Amino acid sequence: MNTDATQQQPAGGPAARWWTEAVIYQIYPRSFADSNGDGVGDLPGITSRLGHLTELDVDAVWLSPFYPSPQADAGYDVADYRDVDPLFGTLADADKMIAEAKSRGLRVIVDLVPNHTSSAHRWFQAALAAGPGSPERQRYVFRDGKGAQGAEPPNDWQSVFGGPAWTRVPDGQWYLHLFDTGQPDLNWDNPEVRAEFLDILRFWLDRGVDGFRVDVAHGLIKQADLADWQEPHEILSGQEVDRPRPPMWDQDGVHEIYREWRRLLDSYGGDRILVAEAWVEPAERLANYVRPDEMHQAFNFEYLLAAWTAPAQYAVITRSLEATDAVAAPTTWVLSNHDVIRHATRLALPIGAPRPNGIGIGDPQPDAALGLRRARAATLLMLALPGSAYLYQGEELGLPEHTTLPDEARQDPTWDRSDHTQRGRDGCRVPIPWEADAPSYGFGPTDASWLPQPPLWAEYALDRQRGVPGSTYELYRTALRLRREHGLARGPLSWLSSGDEVLAFTNGALTVLTNFGEASVPLPDGAEVLVTSAPLDDDGRVPTDVTVWFRA
C-alpha cells in the first residue's frame, strides 16, 4: 500500500455525546408498515415494527412528516404542526410510538418543515382573505408583480419541482413557493413566524422527542431584494466558498434562527438535537450549520453525490472531516433517503452521471447486481468512517429503486411540474417488504399499497434474509455490531492508501480497504478478516467493488 501519513481525528472522544457517533434510521411513515390495510403506512404500524430496529442495532429513528396535510408533497406541506394526520393515526398513537421506542432504547427525531407551510394552513388562508399589505400576508412572501398590471412574476426564480416559483392570487399579488404551489414560503424576517416555531418546538419537546430534522434548513432566509438569479435554481447551493450565494439559499441570516433554537433545546436537557437538511456545498459552508452554538448534525450530501471512484471518495471524506473538525462537530454520513435514488441503483449508473431523484427519461435499466455489489461496498466504507451515519428504510435489505413504476402511479409533484421530464422520487418511496409470501409483502394486512410494489420485492423481503449468511440484512447487522464494538465512530482515521484504485485507512485497531480497480488486490500477510461486502477471491485477494474490514 502507498502510505499517506495524514491522520484525521474527529470531534468527540471518550466523552462524546450520543449524536456524535449514532446510527440513525430514517422511517418514511407512508411506506414502513400499514396497520389497518388502507395501503398507507401509519404510526401504529411503526410501533409494531420497532423490534426490527433494535434487532438491527441502530440508536435512533427519524420520521418523515406525519402532520395533518393535503399531501401535495407527501406531507411536506404541513397544515397543522401540532397534530397527526388521520391518515397516520392520532396524537395518542404518536405518544405511544415515542414511549415504545424509548422503552427499547431508541431515540426519536421528528421532521420539522419551517421553510413553508401548506396552502391549507390557517395562516395562509387568513393571508388570502386579508389582502395586500395586511399583517396576515406579512407571514409569507407576497409581492406585487412586474409589467403591465403586475402580470409578470416578481422575479425569475424557479421552483425546485419545475416551473415558476410564484403563483398569482385573485387580487393580483404573487406568493413565493420554492417548491409546490401548495407550499407557500414563510417570511422568516417576521418575528411572529419565529415565535410560532419556537412554540412548535416546545410542543414536541414536551411530548418527549429527542430532536428535529429540519427540512430545507438553508432556505428560510431570502436575499432582501429578491434579486433575479440567472444561474441554475437547483436546491444545491453552490460549489465554491467565494461563489455568490444564490439569493434563495444559504443566506447567513439562517444561523441566527438556529442559534435561538439551540438555546431552547439546551434548556430542556437530555441531549436533544437539531439536524440540518442543508443542500450546501462546499463542506466549509455546510460546517457553518454545526458550529458549537447551532445545529448538532448536518447531512453530508456532497458525500452522497460523490462519484464511485477512489479519488472522489478520498477527496470528499478528507474535506468533510477537515471542515467539521474545524468547528468541533461530527461528520454526518448518508447514502440514501426519501429524496434521492436509492444507492443500490444509483451506483449502477455510469460513473460521473448522478441522478439526484429518479432514473432519467431514456436511461437504460441499471444493472441490479452491479448496483447492489457497489452499494454493499459503499455502506461498509461509510459505516467505518468517524462520525454519525443515517440509514434509509429498506437499504438494509438491499432494496433498489423501483425503476419500472408505471407513470400513471406517480404522485411526486416533480413529475407534473416538470412536464413529465423528471420522473421524481416515487421510486425510492415504495412500501418496503417484510414477508415474501404475505399480502403486500407484509407491508400491511391486505394487498393495498399506495405505490405499487414490484414482483421482485419478494426476493428482498426481511424473512428471506434474516439468519442467511451473506445476505444484505446480515451484512448490516454485522457491520453495525462491529462498528459499535470497535468504536469506529470515534476514530481516529489514518490514511494508508489514497491512489486511483484503492482506498485504505486505519480506524483505531481496524483497517478498512475498498478496491475500486479492475484487478484484485492482496491483503497483508496474516490479516484477520472481520467482514467483507462480498466474498474474497479463493486466494484471499480483494475483488473489485469490495470493502473489507480486517485486523493486520
Write the pLDDT tens digit of every residue in 425-438.
999 999 999 999 99
What value, to the nearest 5°, has the Cα angle with vertex 129 and ends 128 and 133?
75
b/e map 79-99, b = 16+ CB within 10 Å: bebeebbebbbeeebbeebbe
Catalytic residue from among 77, 93, 277, 281: 277
Does 277 participate in catalysis according to the annotation?
yes
Q: What is the pLDDT of residues 246-304, one digit of tens each?
A: 999 999 999 999 999 999 999 998 899 999 999 998 889 999 999 999 999 999 999 99
236 confidence band (pLDDT: 50, 70, 90)? low
For the chain, what is the mean pLDDT? Answer: 93
- What one-character DSSP code corresponds to residue 359? P
Dist CA 220 CA 205 (whole Å): 22
Cell reading at 164: 415558476
| Active site annotation includes 215 | yes
* Residue position matching grid coordinates 382573505: 129
Is 118:72 a contact under the CB 8 Å cutoff?
yes
The whole-model pTM stands at 0.94
CB 395 within 8 A of CB 343: yes
Task: Please provide residue 119's backbone torsions phi and psi, each rounded to the nearest 5 degrees.
Answer: -65, -15
Short-list 336, 436, 324, 430, CA closest to 390: 336
Provide the 8-state DSSP code for 441: G
**Planar angle of CA 71, 73, 75, nearest 5 degrees:** 55
Task: Tell me how far apart the alpha carbons of residues 464 and 471 are, in angstroms, rounded to a whole number.
Answer: 9
- How far is 173 from 128, CA to CA, in rounded Å? 10
Look up residue 40 and give its three cell numbers. Answer: 398507507
pLDDT of residue 290: 97
Q: Which residues contact 314 (CB under 8 A, 6 or more apart)?
A: 495, 498, 503
- The catalytic position among 215, 250, 294, 412 is 215
Pick from 176, 173, 168: which is nearest to 132 by CA?
Answer: 173
Would you call 107 helix, strand, or coil by DSSP?
Answer: strand
Question: Cα–Cα distance between 91 and 67 in angstroms, integer?
Answer: 10
Q: What is the pLDDT of residue 2?
A: 45
Give the single-character DSSP code of 294.
Answer: S
DSSP 419: T
Q: d(Cα 517, Cα 341) in Å, to the nearest integer?
A: 24
Cell numbers 417484510 correspond to what residue? 434
Judge contact between 541 and 507, C-beta under 8 A.
no
CB–CB of 341/357 below 8 Å? Answer: yes
pLDDT tens, residue by residue, 344-368? 999 998 776 666 566 777 778 889 9
Mean per-residue pLDDT, 466-472: 97
- Percent above pLDDT 90 for the chain: 84
Compute the CA torsion angle 236, 237, 242, 244 (nearest 10 deg). Answer: 140
Helix and strand counts by DSSP (H, E) for the chain: 15, 17
Helix (H, G, I), strand (E, B) or coil at 74: coil
Which residue in 449, 435, 446, 468 sits closest to 405, CA to CA? 449
Give helix 472-485 / helix 368-383 axis angle, nearest 10°. Answer: 10
For residue 470, the Cα-to-chain-centroid distance in whole angstroms is 27
CA distances from 359 to 158, 294, 342 (A): 22, 36, 10
Whether the CB-CB separation of 399 and 345 falls below 8 Å is answered with no
Q: Cell for 506?
A: 486505519
Lowest mean pLDDT among 10-19, 57-66, 472-481: 10-19
Query: How many angstroms separate the CA atoms of 451 and 430, rounded?
Result: 6
Contact 10, 376 (CB under 8 A): no
Left (φ > 0), alpha (ψ -120 to 50) or beta: where does 487 sit?
left
Hey, what's the cell of 311? 479519488
Residues 488/475, Cβ–Cβ less than 8 Å: no
DSSP 8-state symbol, 43: H
Q: For residue 92, give every residue at least 6 positions away whose Cβ sits within 8 Å of its Cβ, in sequence order, or none.
A: none
Q: Average pLDDT in the 325-351 region?
A: 93
The better pLDDT of the pair 428, 413 is held by 428
The DSSP bridge partners found for residue 521 are 542
Residue at grid coordinates 442495532 = 57
Q: How many CA atoms lie within 13 Å of 50's alpha carbon, on the beta-carbon side? A: 24
Q: What pLDDT band is residue 343 in, cutting at 50, 70 and 90?
A: very high
The string of pLDDT tens digits covering residues 21-47 is 999 999 999 999 999 999 999 999 999
Helical ranges in 9-136 per DSSP H? 43-48, 50-56, 91-103, 122-130
